[in-house]
């Protein structure tokens, strides 16, 4: 559940049950009351995550300041789109569209620049893939759409033919291809998790059956699918 306080700050609460969430909201309400703040219920949202393989369950209305909170199927939290089924297709589409906008912008504004300048701009603006290291559940169709957008963005910036070899053009320019970029993103996150002093993150890093860590370890296989 996310909510705004006086339209400036955003908070989130997560609970395994409606009862637990209600208690957390009660703590927030008392804190706001003691500090002269008021929660904006109209800008607050509640999401119920689905259990894989089970039909949706009926969940009682969650209230804040006596008013029911709007229930949604997805919302953007810190720039990352979260859905009830924890599927990443919506967030991948968000990044694909953002990549298209950035690529078209630099292709128009820097068309006459040197190859070195263009490659630097491409690395800076087209290979960030914000929160991509968190993607784990998605369709290959959506993932391929982002890869194609990435390849086409480089072709447009460099003025290359639409159907030229993607691997060849990236190798010649010494720029990471899509799969290399994604592998580096996942590896970077795994290293930070393993080096973290946080006990919760340490627990995840030590589990060989962790779904996310297994995904990161096998992400190189995606290039062959």
Q: pLDDT digit string (tens) for 164-214?
A: 999 899 999 999 999 999 988 888 888 888 888 988 888 877 776 777 777
pLDDT value at position 8?
37
pTM: 0.80
**Domain coordinates of the chain in residue numbers?**
2-72, 89-224
Q: Is the pLDDT of residue 220 over 60?
A: no
Mean pLDDT, the chain, rounded, equals 85
Query: What is the model's pLDDT at position 55?
Result: 64
Look at residues 98, 112, 100, 99 and name the one whose alpha carbon lies nearest to residue 159.
Answer: 112
pLDDT digits (tens, 9 = 90+) for 105-117: 999 999 999 999 9
Highest mean pLDDT among 59-63, 83-87, 143-147: 143-147
Q: Which of 13-17, 27-31, 94-98, 152-156 is predicted with the least confidence, judged by mean pLDDT? A: 13-17
């Amino acid at each position: 559940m996310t909510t705004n306080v006086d339209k400036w700050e955003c908070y989130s609460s997560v609970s395994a049950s409606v009862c637990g969430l209600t208690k957390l909201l009660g703590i927030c309400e008392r804190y706001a009351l003691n500090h002269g703040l008021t929660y904006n219920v109209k800008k607050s949202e509640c999401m119920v995550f689905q259990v894989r393989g089970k039909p949706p369950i009926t969940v009682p209305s969650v209230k804040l300041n006596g008013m029911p909170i709007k229930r949604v199927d997805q919302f953007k939290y810190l720039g990352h789109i979260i859905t009830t089924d924890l599927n990443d297709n919506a967030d991948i589409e968000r990044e694909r569209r953002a990549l298209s906008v950035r690529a078209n912008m630099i292709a128009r504004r820097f068309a006459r620049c040197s190859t070195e300048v263009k490659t630097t701009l491409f690395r800076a603006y087209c290979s960030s893939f914000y929160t991509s290291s968190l993607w784990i559940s998605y369709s290959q169709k959506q993932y391929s759409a982002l890869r194609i957008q990435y390849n086409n963005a480089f072709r447009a910036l460099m003025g290359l033919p639409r159907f030229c070899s993607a691997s060849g053009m990236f190798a010649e320019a010494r720029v990471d291809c899509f799969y290399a970029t994604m592998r580096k993103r996942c590896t970077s996150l795994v290293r930070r998790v393993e080096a973290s002093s946080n006990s919760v993150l340490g627990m995840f890093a030590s589990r060989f059956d962790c779904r996310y860590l297994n995904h990161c370890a096998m992400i190189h296989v995606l290039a062959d699918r």
